[in-house]
Amino acid sequence: MGSHTRPYNDKNAGAIDRKRQRERQMMLQALYKNTQELATKLVQRLMDKHIIETTSSDAIREAFITLFQKLPEMDEFDMQYKTAPLRSLVVDPNFVSIYVTQYIAEDLIEHDKIQDVFGDDLEIYRAVDSVLGAIRPPQ
């Protein structure tokens, strides 16, 4: 078989894709390693910013711990499908923060210990990213 050559632009696109994939793996590893701490901080931040109102912060913390432990094993398609409505929310989104924002807006709101979720998608994203932005490698 003949060799396959890529045009110059494809090489650049491939390099960008590889960089993003490495960044993604590093973030998922950091999320998994720091699950307990990040879940605690996230629940506290969401309550401090009046994004969520709950009858049990421990139950919500456990919901986030479960989510954070499942994220590294999730299929790429499922992640992309879940985050599709919010991809244009900010210019360079943290994909974990986008996913968690969508999780709060769609799934967590149905949790029996959640009384209400306040704020629009951008407010929720900012609160989430203020905690989960710490796992993002420096640019």
CB atoms within 10 A of CB 36: 12
Q: What's the mean pLDDT in 51-55?
A: 95
Q: Decide: helix, strand or coil at residue 24.
A: helix
Q: Is the pLDDT of residue 1 over 50?
A: no
Q: What's the mean pLDDT in 75-89?
A: 90
Average pLDDT, the chain: 89
Give the whole-number percent of the chain exceeding pLDDT 90: 64
Q: CA-to-CA distance for 83 and 61, rounded, in angstroms?
A: 21
Q: Is the pLDDT of residue 137 over 50?
A: yes
Per-domain boundaries in the chain: 8-135
Please work out, in degrees rounded to the nearest 5, the angle formed at the alpha carbon of residue 55 by the alpha carbons of 99 and 65: 35
Per-residue model confidence (pLDDT) at position 17 = 73
Q: CA-to-CA distance for 53 and 26, rounded, in angstroms?
A: 32
Q: Which of 63, 61, 60 is nearest to 39 (CA)?
A: 61
Instruction: Render pLDDT for 21-52 as a digit per residue (tens, 0 to 9).
Output: 888 899 999 999 999 999 999 999 999 999 99
Q: Which of 22, 55, 63, 45 is nearest to 128 (CA)?
A: 45
Per-residue model confidence (pLDDT) at position 21 = 83
Rg (CA), the chain: 17
With tokens 């299929």, the residue in question is 75
